Structure 1
Amino acid sequence: IWNSVIKTNSLSSRNDFYKCLALMALAQQGKIVDEKLLDNYINRELPIPTLDNLTELEDRLIRVLRSDQGKTTFCFRYGDLCSLDTIQVEVAPDKKVDKEFIEERRRSLKRYLQILCRHPVICETEIIKFFLTFQGTSCGDNMKATFKNSLDEFSCEPPTSSTSIDRIERHEEDSTGIRMFHISETHISFLHQQFSQIRTYLKNINERNFKTADEYWAIEKSLQLISTDPTRVERWATGPNDYWPTIQTGLTELPIEINAVAERINEECKREDEVINDHLDMLIELFQGYKDLCKRFEEALQVEQRAIQKATHQNRRSLTTSDSSTKNDLSSIEKRNNHALKCIQIETQLIYANLEAFVYILSSLGNIQYKVSSDLLDIWKSFSNKTSELGQTYINKTSLQKANAPGIKK
């Protein structure tokens, strides 16, 4: 019916659509599909096709969606598309900001500000001074409005001189700068490796100390169970030795000391973990960022050197012409190279400026160990005195007290 009436891929008019419906009605009546049969219905209403139950058709009807970008095809049945209207999607719960999240953000901001304030160049910029001295709300919006027209460092640099003498001097300075860069890169890479190993060792020690604290807490629980055990031992088992009831009574004070030991060790681990996360990790992340920066700089340097060679070769070929585009390209490349070398020098200075944090890390770890060791010394002294008193208590007992020792059945 479609091919006989439409003869194309789409309907061109409403009359063609009605012709298709009329031919469908004639086909349902058992007549041959022929457009000439419609001539008998001039000035008459066209036949109307009958439609059965659409349930079966709805189940079989498939809608195909193709994605040319993903090279995928999705097939949906009509019933599946209808069921989408009945799907209820729950409203997403409100985002909860707990104390740990706020504390982590605060510590991250603190580390970021430390990096900026230790930067040899950025620390003196107006935008940093504005941020540190701003009082009020919407600091970001005010900062954006104040400095939106400020130029970056590359745009503020003066144009390079194109004389041959100046180029020779710049070439010597760049060569010296690149040589010093490679020396600094090697040294910082060595520091990065050693500091990473120190962090690994400290984290391993901290993990073992956390386990040690847990084990002391387990010892505390065991001592509590022993000291509160209600079992009355028979004289048959102890014989003339009534030492156990005295020990059991004295053990009630020892779990307090063991708990204090576990608390001090756990406190030490938390403080050391904070020092590692806030300072040593920041320092190592700076090393890693500098390593990535050096890799990009060396790749860009190779590209720029090839571009300089190409521009220089073209400049030699165009000496007899008045075309200045090649000279401008060469000056632009040299300016980018010079600026990139200055940036890498500043970032190298940033690394060495932050090395003072390593002294703070060592000092903090030393102070933590000293404080905790002093506390543990006092705790273990108290523990030792109590255990000594425990044995002395039994020795000082009279024969009658030993015979009437609690916890032993006679």
Structure 2
Amino acid sequence: MFTKLMANAGLPSQTLTQIWDVVDEKQGYLSRTGLYKALALTALAQQGKSINDKILESYSDQELPRPSLGDMGDLKNLSVRLHRDRNPTVLGYTYEELSALDTIKVELVPEKKGLILKHVEYEITSRRYHSTVLRRYNDFLAYQETLLQRYPYRMIPDLPPKKLVGVADRKFIEQRRKSLRRFLNLIARHPIMSHDQIVRYFHTFTGSDMQYRIKEHFRGAPDEFMTCEYALKSKEFVPLDTQLQFSNSRVHIRLLTDATLKMRNIAERIAERDTEYALDMLVLSKQLSTIANDTSSVSSWACGNCETWSQFKRGFKGVSSDCALLGEKASSLSIRIEDHVTEILSMFLDLLLAYKDLCDRHEKGVLRDHQRAIQKMGLYKKKKMSATVQGPAEANAVEQLEYRILKQENEISNMENRNYFSLHCVQMETQLIHANLEGLYCALQNLATEETQGYSQMASLWHNIRPLIDAILPERAVSSGATSPSTSPTNIKR
């Protein structure tokens, strides 16, 4: 870290060596005082002064000079990485840092390809890899399967269901597109999986038959346990009360999942109501326009001396256009609620459900295999005891059983290590859930912002519409302070 810091000073390596010789206390590390001296000496060296251990004595009653170290962004990133490496039981990521890992866009390709069974194709753009590739739904399935084999101890979200295009409607296809986008972003923003070659391959491979190529390319690749440098030391990272903490976290996250699901459903209904309101305003606009543009003959035979119809025709035209604008504003609000509120909640919900699947895999997979191995070991030991009792005649059988027991002990040891590694990963994934909790705040903040802005715009339009309506029948216009006209049903005496 100190070397990186000094490299930013732009000084020759010989000068940096001289600075180190002055501040090095031969303790194997640099003290705070030594760091301050090094920074001051760096500043003096940048001013062209010679370096020695006496030069700072003249600053005993003065502020030490400050060096110019350029952009510190890389140093901050290095500091964060070092902190994470030294503290493997703390995730060390914020919601903002996770979101900055990548942003994936998924768009429908307009044309449906295929001669007999047509299919939907997706254009996928990655900000991190500066890539744009085309993928089919089956490519996503192969991608997910490959990730599960490589990372069985991590949260991998579910994919949306597959449905034939001939049966699927436009709404289903759009929902599936959004779900696939959430899936890709959750993987691309995972602190471990995002750096894997599988992710890079999916976002950069431009050849054909992706679903077969990705499986073939990573066939036989070891899982995370086999390649993680601290996998065999995982027991050191698992506290004694891990099972209790794990159980408590599952209860907590079940509550969080239920709450997030209900919040997501509420956001969907808000967007649906805005859409229905938009449709109602467009229908209202159309009906007012129909009245305004009516060309049927209406004579005094029908009207007598009543001019209301002609006044309606003149006035409804302006009201109609503003009602159409209301519909557009409501429709725009609905879209923004879906994109900025519903999608954030859905993404967090996908992550929570992936956590549930991970916990199920941990309990049904690692623990079940461990229990089976222990039972198998017990069976071998019983057979060995039985063969030993029978004497020299069963010596060969005893030797074979001893070999199997040794092999089984190694297998159990490996399973125990896997169990500890799985528990460690579950702890990290639990912390990842908490790091993403800020998404709920962002969703609520966006909801408040969009509702305030949207309804303010619509209120302004209604404010403009009111004088237009009053002008249609000025003699009947209700003053702004009145609640309802005398002929309103709410004012009829009974």
**Above 0.5 in TM-score?**
yes
CA deviation string 1:82-119 (max 9, x = no partner): xxxxxxxxx94583758979987875554234212332
1:260 aligns with 2:342: no
Q: CA, structure 1 residues 300+204, in 2 after alignment: closer, same or farther (shift >3 Å)?
A: same
1:190 aligns with 2:213: no
State the match for 2:194 in structure 1.
123
Larger mean CA deviation between 216-225 and 138-147 belongs to 138-147
Asked if structure 2 preserves the Cα contact closer than 8 Å seen for 1:311 and 1:329, the reply is: no
**Match of 1:188, as an amino acid?**
I
State the match for 2:182 in structure 1.
111
Aligned partners of 1:374 and 1:160: how far apart in 2? 56
1:329 aligns with 2:352: no
Displacement, 1:257? 0.8
CA deviation string 1:96-145 (max 9, x = no partner): 7589799878755542342123323223446556777x6x8449799889
1:223 aligns with 2:246: no
Displacement, 1:316? 8.3
1:95 to 108, 111, 118: 118
Aligned partners of 1:376 and 1:258: how far apart in 2? 10
Aligned partners of 1:126 and 1:204: how far apart in 2? 40
**Match of 2:371, as an amino acid?**
R
State the match for 1:350 in structure 2.
432
Displacement, 1:355? 2.5
State the match for 1:360 in structure 2.
442
Q: CA, structure 1 residues 203+160, in 2 after alignment: closer, same or farther (shift >3 Å)?
A: closer
Aligned-residue CA RMSD in angstroms? Answer: 4.3
Q: Secondary structure at the match of 1:231?
A: coil
Larger mean CA deviation between 104-113 and 332-341 belongs to 104-113
State the match for 1:55 in structure 2.
none
1:234 to 300, 319, 333: 300
Asked if structure 1 preserves the Cα contact closer than 8 Å seen for 2:341 and 2:447, the reply is: no
**Match of 2:349, as an amino acid?**
I
Equivalences, count: 296
Q: Secondary structure at the match of 2:118?
A: coil
Aligned partners of 2:370 and 2:299: how far apart in 1? 91
Aligned partners of 1:130 and 1:292: how far apart in 2? 25
Asked if structure 2 preserves the Cα contact closer than 8 Å seen for 1:118 and 1:350, the reply is: no
Aligned partners of 1:295 and 1:351: how far apart in 2? 16
Aligned partners of 2:377 and 2:119: how far apart in 1? 61
Displacement, 1:260? 0.9
Asked if structure 2 preserves the Cα contact closer than 8 Å seen for 1:311 and 1:330, the reply is: no
Aligned partners of 1:328 and 1:265: how far apart in 2? 65
Aligned partners of 1:108 and 1:176: how far apart in 2? 37
CA deviation string 1:50-69 (max 9, x = no partner): xxxxxxxxxxxxxxxxxxxx
More helix by share: 1
1:201 aligns with 2:272: no
State the match for 1:155 in structure 2.
226
TM-score (norm 1): 0.58
Q: CA, structure 1 residues 393+251, in 2 after alignment: closer, same or farther (shift >3 Å)?
A: farther
**Match of 1:350, as an amino acid?**
L
Structure 2 gap ranges (5+): 1-113, 123-169, 389-397, 478-494
Choose 1 or 2 for highest CA Rg.
Answer: 1
Asked if structure 1 preserves the Cα contact closer than 8 Å seen for 2:267 and 2:342, the reply is: no
Displacement, 1:215? 2.0
Q: CA, structure 1 residues 159+102, in 2 after alignment: closer, same or farther (shift >3 Å)?
A: closer
Asked if structure 2 preserves the Cα contact closer than 8 Å seen for 1:131 and 1:143, the reply is: yes
State the match for 2:464 in structure 1.
382
Asked if structure 1 preserves the Cα contact closer than 8 Å seen for 2:366 and 2:418, the reply is: no
Asked if structure 1 preserves the Cα contact closer than 8 Å seen for 2:263 and 2:345, the reply is: no
**Match of 1:118, as an amino acid?**
R
1:297 to 343, 362, 377: 362
Which structure has more relative contact order (CA 8 Å, sep 6+)? It is 1
Asked if structure 2 preserves the Cα contact closer than 8 Å seen for 1:196 and 1:284, the reply is: yes
CA deviation string 1:215-272 (max 9, x = no partner): 2222222212222333324177444x54442333122211101111112112222332
State the match for 2:77 in structure 1.
none
State the match for 1:271 in structure 2.
336
1:248 aligns with 2:313: yes
Q: Secondary structure at the match of 2:430?
A: helix
Give percent identity, aligned residues only: 24
State the match for 1:79 in structure 2.
none
State the match for 1:37 in structure 2.
none
1:280 to 340, 345, 364: 345
Displacement, 1:191? 0.8
Q: CA, structure 1 residues 394+233, in 2 after alignment: closer, same or farther (shift >3 Å)?
A: farther
**Match of 1:95, as an amino acid?**
K
